């Protein structure tokens, strides 16, 4: 292990948007959810995290930079992910560079981590999802850990729940699991990105400001105070998961859109049912819902699905390219960026996947 070498790995991971939402934990430390959830992984060209992890005997402590600014690694979530991957590290040998790291050496080696998001951090665009998925993936490659994507997803989950779903592309399900230790709370791919490739995603960045209530504290308060959440987790989501899996399998856009919009609306209803209530959407978000609902009703069959995470930004999924271009025309007419609408910009991209992340 001696010498003046640096071993580096770079990975790129897209974010994901839930169409059946995760909201509420049954275990805060292990990050175990109260229900299953389903997401689409986005196109890495538009919303992704790029992370480089480096190891060298000359590093004297673990350090991390996010978007160029050093941040603390003291948080329990980073430490959980690092610990889990370190415990799975294997021998690494790179003859060309003269690097030889034995399994036991990893405990004493320190890491430098640099991570960049190409989208607003913590503005309800699931930055922690891409961030932790990318970190875990890159560390696993660096340390030659032999885990498969599903096992890695259970580690990324301990960084941020939604991160487990970003380890796969296409349509992904996070199975809540039953085990106390969380080993069976992991992500599986329902269908790859080629399965339903006419869908186009348009995101209206209504605000790129940091949200006031983080997902973590918001869902804690919901679990403590909302009766509606109990009904949702027990009665509503299990049925919707089955229906959504069926809609994805059959590329049934009408059911997909109906389930996606209803689930987003119920998630925000659950936030309102929290004491004190949590407001993630704003007037522009509500107006976007009205425009889409009116359009869908006038066509008789849904053309566009909408969904909102813990922030006011609208994620819209159009049934095909032609509909996406009509949607964009309508949006630009009703919500021109930077006018009184308070709207920032639009991000347009096909849903896509984490291939074998670019290294």
Listed ranges 14-22, 84-92, 293-301, 350-358: which one lies at the site for ligand DP6 (CB under 6 A): 14-22
Stretch that binds ligand DP6, among 19-27, 111-119, 194-202, 290-298 (CB under 6 A): 19-27
Q: How far is the CB of 21 from ligand DP6 (least distance, A)?
A: 4
Two tokens, residue 302: 């849904």
241-247: long-range contacts (C-beta < 8 A, 24 or more apart)? 241/20, 241/35, 241/36, 241/38, 241/173, 244/19, 244/20, 244/38, 245/38, 245/173, 245/190
Q: What is the dihedral of CA 351, 165, 163, 48, to 10 degrees?
A: -20
Contact characters 159-178, ligand DP6, x per CB under 6 A: -xxx----------------
Residue whose CB is less far from ligand DP6, 101 or 240: 240
128, with CB counted inside 10 A (0-12, 13-18, 19+), is buried
* Residue 313 lies near ligand DP6 (rule: CB under 6 A): no
Per the rule left: phi > 0, alpha: psi between -120 and 50, beta: everything else, 176 is alpha
Which is closer to ligand DP6, CB of 89 or CB of 268? 268
CB 104, CB 143: distance < 8 Å: no
88 binding ligand DP6? (CB under 6 A) = no
C-alpha 13/C-alpha 134 separation (Å) is 5
| Tokens (6 digits) for 186 | 């992991």
310 touches ligand DP6 (CB under 6 A): yes
* 21 lines the binding site for ligand DP6 (CB under 6 A): yes
User: What is the Cα–Cα distance from 357 to 359, expressed in whole angstroms?
Assistant: 6
Cβ closer to ligand DP6: 185 or 303? 185
Least separation in angstroms between CB 27 and ligand DP6: 11
Draw the binding track, 229-268, toward ligand DP6 (x: CB under 6 A; -: no contact): ----------------------------------------
Among 9, 11, 18, 53, binds ligand DP6 (CB under 6 A): 18
Using CB under 6 A, pick the residue from 125, 309, 314, 324 that binds ligand DP6. Answer: 309
Contact status: 128 vs ligand DP6 (CB under 6 A)? yes
Contact region with ligand DP6 (CB under 6 A), list: 95-103, 124-132, 177-185, 297-305: 124-132
* Chain contacts with ligand DP6 (rule: CB under 6 A): 18, 21-23, 31, 37, 126, 128-129, 160-162, 215-216, 309-310
């Amino acid at each position: 292990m001696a010498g003046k070498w640096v071993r580096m790995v770079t990975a790129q991971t897209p974010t994901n948007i839930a169409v059946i939402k995760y909201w509420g934990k049954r275990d805060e430390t292990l990050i175990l959810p109260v229900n299953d959830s389903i997401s689409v992984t986005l196109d890495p060209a538009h919303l992704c995290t790029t992370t480089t992890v480096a190891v060298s005997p000359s590093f004297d402590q673990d350090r991390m930079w996010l978007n160029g600014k050093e941040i603390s690694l003291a948080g329990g979530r980073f430490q959980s992910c690092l610990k889990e991957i370190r415990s799975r590290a294997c021998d690494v040998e790179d003859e060309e560079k003269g690097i030889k790291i034995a399994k036991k050496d990893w405990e004493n080696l320190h890491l430098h981590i640099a991570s960049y998001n190409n989208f607003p951090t913590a503005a309800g665009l699931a930055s922690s999802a891409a961030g932790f998925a990318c970190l875990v993936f890159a560390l696993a490659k660096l340390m030659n850990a032999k885990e498969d994507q599903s096992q890695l997803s259970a580690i990324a989950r301990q960084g941020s729940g939604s991160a487990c779903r970003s380890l796969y592309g296409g349509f992904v399900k996070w199975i809540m699991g039953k085990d106390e230790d969380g080993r069976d709370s992991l992500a599986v791919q329902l269908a790859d990105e080629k399965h339903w490739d006419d869908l186009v995603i348009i995101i209206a960045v209504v605000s790129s400001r940091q949200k006031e209530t983080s997902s973590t504290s918001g869902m804690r308060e919901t679990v403590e105070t909302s009766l509606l959440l109990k009904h949702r987790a027990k009665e509503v989501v299990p049925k919707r998961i089955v229906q959504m899996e069926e809609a994805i399998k059959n590329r049934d856009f009408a059911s997909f859109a109906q389930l996606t919009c209803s689930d987003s609306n119920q998630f925000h209803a659950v936030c309102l049912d929290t004491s004190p209530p949590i407001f993630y959407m704003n007037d522009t978000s509500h107006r976007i819902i009205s425009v889409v609902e009116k359009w869908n009703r006038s066509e008789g069959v849904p053309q566009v699905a909408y969904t909102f995470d813990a922030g006011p930004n609208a994620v819209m999924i159009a049934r095909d390219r032609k509909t996406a271009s009509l949607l964009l025309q309508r949006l630009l007419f009703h919500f021109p960026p930077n006018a009184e609408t308070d709207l920032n910009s639009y991000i347009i991209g096909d849903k896509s996947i984490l291939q074998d992340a670019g290294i």
